[in-house]
Amino acid sequence: MTPHAFIAKWKPADLSERSAYQQHFIDLCRLLDQPTALRGYLAGKPVGGRVWGGTWARDKRGAEMMRGDLTAAGIPYAVDGPDGPLYADFHVLRHSYLTLGGRSGIDLRTL
């Protein structure tokens, strides 16, 4: 998928986040030439349903859950950086998402 095709598809989208997030994620992975690692997991989910079940968001356990996933994938949560430790957390994930989208030519308002 090209940046222009992504923008053409999603900029005028009149869909709710709930009804479109799965396809948006898949298209974004295609645009960034990344494998859709969750393809098998998402395939079993109903369209418009919750992707992440459980009470992790309500209980504010997202960071704990992410650390467990990082450990399972062999990715360190923190590494030494030039000005102190660098962390793999939701804040970094959000910035990476926007940075990669911007580098691919996507209007950041679309993301």
| 26, part of any domain | yes
| 30, part of any domain | yes
Task: Report whether pLDDT(74) > 60.
Answer: yes
| 109, part of any domain | no
| 53, part of any domain | no
Comparing C-alpha atoms, which of 16, 36, 13 is closest to residue 26?
36
| 110, part of any domain | no
Q: Take residue 107 and report the two structure tokens written for it.
A: 């209007």
Q: What is the pLDDT of residue 15?
A: 66
| 54, part of any domain | no
Residue 71: which domain range? 3-48+59-103
| 17, part of any domain | yes
What is the domain count for the chain? 1
| 111, part of any domain | no
Tens digit of pLDDT for each residue in 94-107? 777 788 888 888 88
Q: What is the pLDDT of residue 36?
A: 63
Using left for φ > 0, alpha for ψ between -120 and 50, and beta otherwise, residue 105 falls in left
Tens digit of pLDDT for each residue in 54-67? 777 778 787 787 78
Task: Report the range out of 9-13, 17-21, 41-45, 73-77 with the highest average pLDDT.
Answer: 73-77
